[in-house]
Amino acid sequence: MSHLGVLGDPLAEPPSDVESGGKPAIAAGDAEARSAASAGMDGLWLRGPTWSASDRTLARRVGRPLAAFLRIEAAGGLVLFLAAVSAMAWANSPGAGAYTRLWGTEVGLSFGDASLSGDLRHWVNSGLMSIFFLVAGLEIKLEMVVGNLRNPRAVALPVIAAFGGMVVPALIFLAIAPDGVAARGWGVPMATDIAFAVGLLAVLGSRIPVAARLFLLTLAIVDDVGSVLVIAVFYPTDLSTGWLVVAGGALVAVVLLRRLRVWAFPAYVVLGVVVWFATDQAGVHATMAGVAMGLLAPARPLLDVPKVRRHLGDRVAFSPDAEMPRLGFLLRESTSVASRLLQSLHPWSSFLVLPVFALANAGLQLSSSTVTAAFSSRLTWAVFVALVLGKFLGVSVASWAAVRVGLGQLPPGTTWSMFVGLAVTAGVGFTVSLFVAGLAYDGSPLLAEQAKIGVLAASVTAGMVGVLLLRWTTRRAPAVARPAAGASPVG
């Protein structure tokens, strides 16, 4: 049963008798209250009643969520960096044995004839990372329905740039890497790490235009879509048709519940667990369940927002016993399920899931012999060159060609010299690249170690060179002007 069936008509007339003498205690149209509320919100550029704190549809659906997303990504990038450094320090300290024993601890669950087992690192990579991919799926869904990815003209350049930034690194990798098992890692240099890339731009402050940040963010999101497809299609294990049918049936049930307008979270949680378990048993990486559930989450609100506002008007009274449950429902269901889930899970993904993933996977023992062996390996150099040079060439050349033939245009306020810095920064491929390396070389620890060293070296190099280039190209330029109230950051 849907929430509407439980609560009746949520837009029915409110009771006319109010304990406070029939006058509403809080009026939705109260100018002072609205001004005070706006003044307490963080705007996209300034504190106070700015454009992003206004009640405009674009500000409410794009401006404020994007500002919150960028703030979390910037801070999450710092936490992710600290976690990676901590993992490296731990793995190369006298306590390295404890590090190895911790992530090698075996954990198992069984359900009748079906079972799940693996070491703690496996549970982080297959279980905890499902939350990260769920968040990625939610972000992709929202971008496609109400964000930048819904507008073909606005998204043309970052999509073309992302395509070039995936194809060229993969080709360069295959040209350098040896044949055989090592060649399986061609998907490693395809992705851009959102948290690190956005965090690096945050270091440069307002000298980087908002449109340039949006470009890199959109490029990274499209990269994630490509990486998800690569993982699902090219890195499965032995497939089980029966379990694939179970996973597909659970996803069909999710679609049916949406069509019936059933918004109860517990039902979707249960189905999500079924999809996750069946996907793992089917031989497809379990994190794909997170992506699928994210893409199926409703990205439009259950209730029509303008209708809710017209209904509330100036008549809404504050009465905890009678009004608050209905008001809470109206406010909650005026925001889509996907938006609410993203707001709830995004901080956990950035500040818990990714740092734990870094702790589990970035702890490479870098003895002189290990480093020498890695950089004597064509695999390590294939990853390094593909990320640092391949990403730069793919993103910049594809973007130049798109602008040249009129398929796209540079982000407002961005010069070609600044764009070169953005293209280099796209070579930071930490999280998903490490993840794909683990999948590509599962059962080949030496190759996995060499690929991960290449990812770490390339990410550090691309990040440092990208920031230096961006600082050099903007050092004489004035800080980007902050739009006045009423202006739109996305055109």
Topology annotation, domain 53-235+285-300+336-474: Na+/H+ antiporter like fold (1.20.1530)
What is the C-alpha separation between 455 and 383, in angstroms, rounded?
Answer: 6
For tokens 């979390």, the residue is 72
The pLDDT of residue 461 is above 80: yes
- Over residues 360-382, the pLDDT tens digits come to 888 888 888 888 888 899 999 99
Report residue 107: phi and psi, to 5°. Answer: -135, 135
* The most confident of 152-166, 296-310, 315-329, by mean pLDDT: 152-166
Angle (CA) 369-375-379 rounded to 5° is 120
Cβ contacts of residue 490 below 8 Å, gap of 6+? Answer: 58, 62, 63, 148, 154, 210, 211, 214
| Tokens encoding 463 | 């990040």
Q: Name which of 10-24, 294-308, 375-389, 404-418 the model is least confident about.
A: 10-24
* The most confident of 150-154, 298-302, 405-409, by mean pLDDT: 405-409
- Over residues 96-129, the pLDDT tens digits come to 899 989 998 988 777 666 667 788 888 888 888 8
Q: Which residue has the higher pLDDT, 211 or 167?
A: 167
pLDDT at 6: 36
What is the C-alpha separation between 251 and 356, in angstroms, rounded?
Answer: 29
Residue 110: is it exposed, middle or buried by C-beta count within 10 angstroms (0-12/13-18/19+)? exposed
**Where along the chain do its domains lie?**
53-235+285-300+336-474
pLDDT band at 465; cut points 50, 70, 90 = very high
Q: Name which of 22-36, 246-260, 358-372, 438-452 the model is least confident about.
A: 22-36
pLDDT at 132: 86
Query: Residues of 15-27 as b/e, b for ≥16 C-beta within 10 angstroms?
Result: eeebeeeeebeeb
Count other Cβ atoms within 10 Å, centred on residue 301: 19
Give the whole-number percent of the chain exceeding pLDDT 70: 73
The pLDDT of residue 13 is above 90: no
- Over residues 57-75, the pLDDT tens digits come to 655 555 566 556 556 666 7
Q: Is 54 left (phi over 0), alpha (psi -120 to 50) or beta?
A: beta
- Over residues 184-239, the pLDDT tens digits come to 999 999 988 877 877 787 777 777 887 788 788 788 878 877 887 888 788 876 67
Could you write out the DSSP letters of every residue in 368-387?
HHHHHHHTTSHHHHHHHHII
Tell me what the mean pLDDT of segment 270-288 comes to: 86
3-class DSSP state of 485? coil
